[in-house]
Structure 1
Amino acid sequence: MSETDKKWAARAKRWAVLFGIPLLMLLIGMWQWSRAGASVDVQATIAEYEQVVQELKAMEDASPRGRAKVKDSEGRSVDARLMRSRYERALAELKAGGLNVTTRNLQPTLAGCTMAFSVLALLWSALGVFYQNAMGKKAMQSREQLLATFEKGRRLLPTYMVVMVLLLFAAAIPLLVYEMMPILRHNRYSKGDMKLMLVLGGLALFLLYSGCKVLWDVWKASRKPMENEPIDVMGQSLAREKAPELWAFVDRVAAKTGAGMPDSIVVGLNEGFFVTEHPVKLSNGSMVPAGRVLYLPLPYMAFLNAGEVAAVIGHELGHFIGEDTLYSQRFSPIYAATINHLVAISGGEKHEESWMDFLRRPATLFGEMFLDSFHEAVRFWGRKRELAADAVGASVVSPQAVASSLLRITALEPHVSEALEMNWDQGQTVEGGIVGHVRQLVASKGMADPSQHLENRQSHPTDTHPELAVRLDALGVPITAELLGRAMDPLGSRLLQEFGLEQGTAPAAATGGTMAGSVAPAAVVDVNAALQSELTSVAASARSAKIAELQEIAALGRERTVIYERSWFQTGLFVFFTVVCVVGAAFLFNSRNGQLYGVGVLLAGLACAYFAFLFSRDGKEPALVLAPEGVQMFKAQELLPWSAIDDFQFNQANHVLTITLPLEQGVVPPALGVGRRRGQYVKKKHRLVLALKGVKKMKNDAFAELMVNYWRAYHARRELQRMGVQP
């Protein structure tokens, strides 16, 4: 299936929900309308019933011994006296104006309300889809239109979603109340009638309460201030006097681009190169002064020559020309506000799934569609701006320098990620910190081949870059052997020393001359060492907290636990059926003509006895064995490793607990050795489905938590091993 086909298939699924739920409510309303009949005209009906009563009396008087017969509405012959009694009771109810009349008159109104609100919900869905499509097309005209249309959409979205939820709730409430009307007309209520009325009435009141809560939650969400969350970086902000050579270098690049200078330069150990006008928070807790921030990562700068760094900085400063950073800063609040409203509509941050999600789903789905449409437009313009920034970087040095920097950063990225991970999670450091670790990895493993990663997108904290292949194609630079050779050259550069960011010596290599010819070495404060010290301190604290949390989880599943099914209910039920069938068969055998029926009932009793035996046997054999490394199911000969299970789903209905286990790709499911009623592998969905008749000596919720804890404990132990800690 092509990407276009997948896109249309996803859109069709969304429309099926968006329009399908209101349409279903409309059909139910129409069905109720067909059952309601016309409203009762009390006075006309009283007159009609009085005339019928008089006619029936006359027929009784004229008939010998008062045994006149009449036809009822179904064509059956009924005694006239009995029919007159029925009409007299109905006449008394009409004159008293009781529930019979009220409930009958309410039913068409309630059904009409359900249909009306369902139709309004359908029209509201259509209006939303139409407006969103128009908004999406308009956003593709310019970034100014993108911001204007989606800012307007952000303001309208809460109202739209609230109205959608309230329309569906307003359709559902009369739908529920309608079904209470026939029960209210009964002269005597059974326990079942009372329970059903309580359930229907409770659901209707709960919907009313939930509608009010949705309004309150959305109002609270709308009052949250739209603030940009700061970008956290492991870095230091360098004033001009602290790193004059670096600032002078950026000055020369900025002069070539005409973009203007950043207000702050931050050098660090994580992320890639970027510029931003978002708030930036450093690892020591301090905030970078507001304004334009240029971020430079030391692990990459240690391997790029001056021309490549100039090209990258030119690219980043090029974002200031088109005010990309300012636009990016204005995009984030739209995302944040929309997500806040989605959370409010879905039931709040502590929401748990319930049947009401069915009625809220069209509203939340529309919010998701809004986000997707906005993201698509942002990505469209972001791609154009990234390619324009590449052109600015090429104007500073050359297209080849931009291409070389892109490929070299791609070749370094796996080593930088590995060094950060080893330092952050495992506490393993080498001389020279992260930069020294990257140098060590490059020396021992060599550079990665960037030609194998042309679909990669370079990391950025706020934006998405186009794929590497797209950027190279836009530059018009083919991947030659010479370009690949430079990208995979394991020798580093001396730029960190020349910029005064690192003391000591580094592997000698030409800096490339371009843009750095007048830079004199100036060893000042070792920024790299200072950053590594900060990283070590922060990482140690985070590592200790993470280890403590993982060890607590890992302790949850160290012993084997044998799980037996609780099958006493099913066993007792079929034993009861067996006894009933045996008694019934004995009675039929003793009757004059019941021997044949007795044989059938006895056979049914034998079948019930067989099922009672099966359920009793199920409860005596282990259903599951939870072990530290995996779970053994029914009669399977081997454990299913916890690593093979992707997720868990637990559902309880009719005294049966259903466990659905989606499996990881490539996992071969074990042979369960039982029938389909107890467990089966669904090949199409690559999942195991187990059916337990409850769990002995344990509630189903407690068992589900226990099973998930074994899974969590297994993964916690693996993570501890990866971090170099004994579980």
Structure 2
Amino acid sequence: MSSRVRAGFSLVLTTLILPAAVLGLALWQLDRGPAHYEEVLGQRDQVVRVLAELGASGADVSSRAPMTVQYGDGGMVYAGPAAMSAATAELDRLDRALWVSRLRNQLPPVVVVCAALVLVLGLVMLLGASALGKAGRRSREALERGFDLVRRLLPWLLGTQVVLTAAGVVAAVAFEAAPLLEVDSPSGRDLKAIAIAVLIMGLSLWTAGKAVLNLRTTLALFRPDPLEISGRSLWRAEAPGLWQWVEGLAERLGALRPDQIVVGLTGGFFVTSGPKCLWPSGETFEGRTLYLPLPYLPLLRQDEAEAIIGHELGHFTGGDTEYSLRFLPIYAGVNRSLAAMILAGRGSDGSEGLITRPAVELGLFVMHRFDRAVMHWSRLREFAADEAGARITSPEAAARALLRYDAVMGRVDAVLGHAFRTPHDAPADLVAATFEHARQHGLDDPAEEQEAQEPHPTDTHPPRHQRLAALGVAPSAALMEDVMAPPAETALSRVVSLFTDASTLFRDLSAELIGDAREAHRAYRESLEAAASAVGDEAVVIRDSGAAGGWILLPIGIVVGAMAVGMKLQEAGGSGSADVIAGIIGLFAVLLFAPGLWLVRRGARPFVTVSPTAITLDGVDRPLAWSDIEEVGYHVVGPPSKTRGLRFSVFLRPGIRLPGRARGRWARFKVKQRKIEIRSMRLREFTAQDFADLIHRYRAAAEARAVLEQEGSASPAVLGAASPDALIFPVATGGNGGGPVNHSPTIV
């Protein structure tokens, strides 16, 4: 079953089928309630008649009624004064039962109303979100109006649904548990059932209350956080040629001019109209902003750069950036409503709540409909922006720009990535270094980039082949050869002429990125050293014990053995069949007693032993070096923070020889998966989560030591390659760098 089918089934099950099932239960309760009331009423009338007859015979509770006066109830027959007393007590019980039954009969209508309203709300939200999604794909204004209405109504709708769901559950459970209150002396089973019913009702009301309280925060006014951009905002005096060029393109296009031009080394071309914060200067501003990545400018031809900038300015013309700002509160409102529902229903072990599950499913569906409509317009606007870029250049130039951007991306990433990985060896001018690297090594073949033939409904951009087709340009061999041609020798000087002091600007931006890299490496080295020192040099033994199970088996074995001895003594001299039965029972007693005694005498035994260099599993014939382990796994039943039993799995790296079995517990080997698994029924002094945290610390320490030992304390190149995405904000991502300390214990 595909994920899409599973998601659809889960949505229908929780929002439609379950409320319909509860509605069916309520209708059944509507039929059972009056029938039960009539039954109790009939029993009361019968007791009243019996009391009348007893009274007519002269019997009284305080008198010495003749023993011929009798009353039967529940298989017991009472005579004399006891008959009058029993009948009176039964009448009192039936009066209470009638009162409970009358109250009970008020509950099914509540369940009917709640279940019907939840079902209707689910249908309305499903159909409404679908209709708004379709209308939103026809008109961007309809999309904004419709889902802005959803943003304002969704907290109330989800809150109402959760409250109705909780009220329906409470009423339905109370109806089923109410007959237990009619009993004078409830049994232990009855008391357990009452306790379970009270627990379910209490949790339902608690969850609904949490959801309502959490939803209050979603009604607060949304204020978007500033977009953090790594770069410099340039005044006209700092880049007169650049401003003249961009404003000339805007005039030719008939587009709005940018209020700011920001240049940097990382990322791609983009425009934005929301609040922004420049990093590292901390400068904040609003208005229309055009961002230009400097390393790309000399690698693109003049008309290719103009097509890309025209494309970005086309988003100003279409009001795309303003629409994006208006969509932010909608996204924020729906996400906050979803978060409120999820947090309200989440258990202490991270499990999802049943009361809030329908609301969460509906919220996700609404968000999905909105996403599809927004991305639909996003893809259309990309086509329109491509047309804008082609209008001020040519369709052929716009097509070349699409392809060449992909062709030069690898050269930019190579230079910036190397500078981030080895800041001590980075060139002072990364723009010039990227240009020289591209001239020496050429550009990548954009045809090698894999892309989907059909866009996914939530893709923000159409596939490249569709954009080329819309421009009316086919990627011929001649075009691809032209796209991959190295940049002209004069391309860098053309870009330099746009700025008053390009050399200083390029070097300052390069120094900032290299400084960020050095700081990231320093922070990462500190994290490695902290991870390496988080464990001591001594080995730690984690033990488990079967003594608890042994103390359970021992008394059972003794009792069963006593039964066998008793049967033997009772049937002494009897038939041989009794001896056989006694012998079988005695054998069963031995099978219980012997393992129990063995478990108690054995006591605690090692489960695993961890040291800075290796882990030893009980039942495995050799220690496993941490460097030989690819991954570990944990499986528990119940909350990991409370459970002490678990299955622990170790997966070895390819090429590592599996160990053999040794004396001890039974270890399970799976050769194809390179997996070893051992099981503990009960860890001593550790919960499953404590155990996972301990293994995580030792793995992290071993890998950190390996990195530090391999490269030495003086070599910053060890600290791992940063991805191109991480280079956008190197300080924010460099601290964790995706290196060896970034494990997270996963327990399922």
* Structure-2 separation of matches of 1:301 and 1:122: 58
Residue in 1 that maps onto 2:46: 48
CA RMSD of aligned residues (A): 4.6
Structure 2 CA distance for partners of 1:613 and 1:623, relative to 1, 3 Å: farther
Q: State the SS of the aligned residue for 1:358.
A: coil
* Structure-2 separation of matches of 1:349 and 1:447: 53
Residue in 1 that maps onto 2:409: 413
Matches for 1:189-204 after TM superposition, within 5 Å? 197=194, 200-204=197-201
Residue in 2 that maps onto 1:506: none
* Structure-1 separation of matches of 2:440 and 2:22: 66
Structure 2 CA distance for partners of 1:700 and 1:48, relative to 1, 3 Å: same
8 Å Cα contact 2:658/2:671 also seen in 1? no
Matches for 1:142-161 after TM superposition, within 5 Å? 142-161=139-158
Question: Which stretch shows the higher mean deviation, 290-299 or 101-110?
Answer: 101-110
Matches for 1:380-529 after TM superposition, within 5 Å? 380-424=376-420, 427-436=423-432, 438-439=434-435, 442=438, 446-455=442-451, 464-491=460-487, 494-500=490-496, 523-524=501-502, 526-529=504-507
* Structure-2 separation of matches of 1:603 and 1:65: 56
Question: Which stretch shows the higher mean deviation, 356-365 or 302-311?
Answer: 356-365
Q: Structure 1 residue 528: deviation in Å? A: 1.4
Residue in 1 that maps onto 2:324: 328
Structure 2 CA distance for partners of 1:221 and 1:557, relative to 1, 3 Å: farther
Q: Structure 1 residue 233: deviation in Å? A: 1.7
Q: Structure 1 residue 419: deviation in Å? A: 4.1
8 Å Cα contact 1:40/1:101 also seen in 2? no
* Structure-2 separation of matches of 1:710 and 1:346: 33
Matches for 1:298-377 after TM superposition, within 5 Å? 298-347=294-343, 352-353=348-349, 357-377=353-373
TM-score by length of 2: 0.79
* Structure-2 separation of matches of 1:185 and 1:669: 68
The match for 2:586 among 583, 594, 602 is 602
Residue in 2 that maps onto 1:18: 15
Deviations 1:288-327 (A, max 9, x none): 5321111100121131121111111011111122111111
Q: State the SS of the aligned residue for 1:357.
A: coil
Residue identity matched to 2:304: E
Residue in 2 that maps onto 1:121: 118
* Structure-1 separation of matches of 2:337 and 2:557: 57
8 Å Cα contact 1:561/1:625 also seen in 2? yes
Deviations 1:121-159 (A, max 9, x none): 222222211111111111111111111111111111111
8 Å Cα contact 1:648/1:662 also seen in 2? no
Residue in 2 that maps onto 1:651: 637
Deviations 1:532-561 (A, max 9, x none): 222233444444344434543454457654
Residue in 1 that maps onto 2:718: 724
1:536 matches 2:522: no
* Structure-2 separation of matches of 1:264 and 1:353: 49
Structure 2 CA distance for partners of 1:565 and 1:317, relative to 1, 3 Å: same
Residue identity matched to 2:130: N
Q: Structure 1 residue 265: deviation in Å? A: 0.7
Residue in 1 that maps onto 2:37: 39
Q: Structure 1 residue 608: deviation in Å? A: 2.1
The match for 2:684 among 687, 696, 701 is 696
Residue in 1 that maps onto 2:728: none
8 Å Cα contact 1:679/1:690 also seen in 2? yes
Structure 2 CA distance for partners of 1:703 and 1:589, relative to 1, 3 Å: same
Residue in 1 that maps onto 2:557: 578
8 Å Cα contact 2:301/2:487 also seen in 1? no
Identity of aligned residues (%): 26
* Structure-1 separation of matches of 2:317 and 2:264: 24
Question: Which stretch shows the higher mean deviation, 163-172 or 407-416?
Answer: 407-416
Q: Structure 1 residue 390: deviation in Å? A: 0.8
* Structure-1 separation of matches of 2:650 and 2:159: 35
Structure 2 CA distance for partners of 1:711 and 1:69, relative to 1, 3 Å: same
Question: Which stretch shows the higher mean deviation, 338-347 or 113-122?
Answer: 113-122
Structure 2 CA distance for partners of 1:577 and 1:252, relative to 1, 3 Å: same
Matches for 1:191-340 after TM superposition, within 5 Å? 197=194, 200-223=197-220, 225-340=221-336
Residue in 1 that maps onto 2:129: 132
Matches for 1:47-86 after TM superposition, within 5 Å? 47-53=45-51, 80-81=77-78
Residue identity matched to 2:393: V
8 Å Cα contact 2:619/2:666 also seen in 1? no
Q: Structure 1 residue 117: deviation in Å? A: 2.3
Structure 2 CA distance for partners of 1:23 and 1:91, relative to 1, 3 Å: farther
Q: Structure 1 residue 347: deviation in Å? A: 2.0
Deviations 1:47-103 (A, max 9, x none): 431214566899999xx9959998x89xxxx56547996896364354478754444
Deviations 1:261-284 (A, max 9, x none): 211111111110011112221112
8 Å Cα contact 1:672/1:680 also seen in 2? no
Question: Which stretch shows the higher mean deviation, 329-338 or 688-697?
Answer: 688-697
Residue in 1 that maps onto 2:745: none
Residue in 1 that maps onto 2:693: 705
Q: State the SS of the aligned residue for 2:308.
A: helix
8 Å Cα contact 2:70/2:80 also seen in 1? no
Q: State the SS of the aligned residue for 2:637.
A: strand
Structure 2 CA distance for partners of 1:141 and 1:125, relative to 1, 3 Å: same
- Number of residue pairs the alignment of both structures matches: 693
TM-score by length of 1: 0.81
Structure 2 CA distance for partners of 1:450 and 1:141, relative to 1, 3 Å: same
The match for 1:141 among 138, 150, 162 is 138
Residue identity matched to 2:583: V
Residue identity matched to 2:431: V
8 Å Cα contact 1:648/1:708 also seen in 2? no
* Structure-1 separation of matches of 2:132 and 2:563: 72
Structure 2 CA distance for partners of 1:65 and 1:278, relative to 1, 3 Å: closer
8 Å Cα contact 2:310/2:388 also seen in 1? yes
8 Å Cα contact 1:275/1:317 also seen in 2? yes
Residue in 2 that maps onto 1:623: 607
* Structure-1 separation of matches of 2:144 and 2:651: 42
Q: Structure 1 residue 351: deviation in Å? A: 7.7
* Structure-2 separation of matches of 1:648 and 1:496: 56
Q: Structure 1 residue 724: deviation in Å? A: 1.7
* Structure-1 separation of matches of 2:131 and 2:674: 40
Residue identity matched to 1:537: G
Structure 2 gap ranges (5+): 60-65, 721-739, 741-748
Residue in 2 that maps onto 1:566: 545
Question: Which stretch shows the higher mean deviation, 427-436 or 266-275?
Answer: 427-436
* Structure-1 separation of matches of 2:652 and 2:474: 39
8 Å Cα contact 1:234/1:531 also seen in 2? no
8 Å Cα contact 2:253/2:310 also seen in 1? yes
Question: Which stretch shows the higher mean deviation, 120-129 or 194-203?
Answer: 194-203
Structure 2 CA distance for partners of 1:440 and 1:524, relative to 1, 3 Å: closer
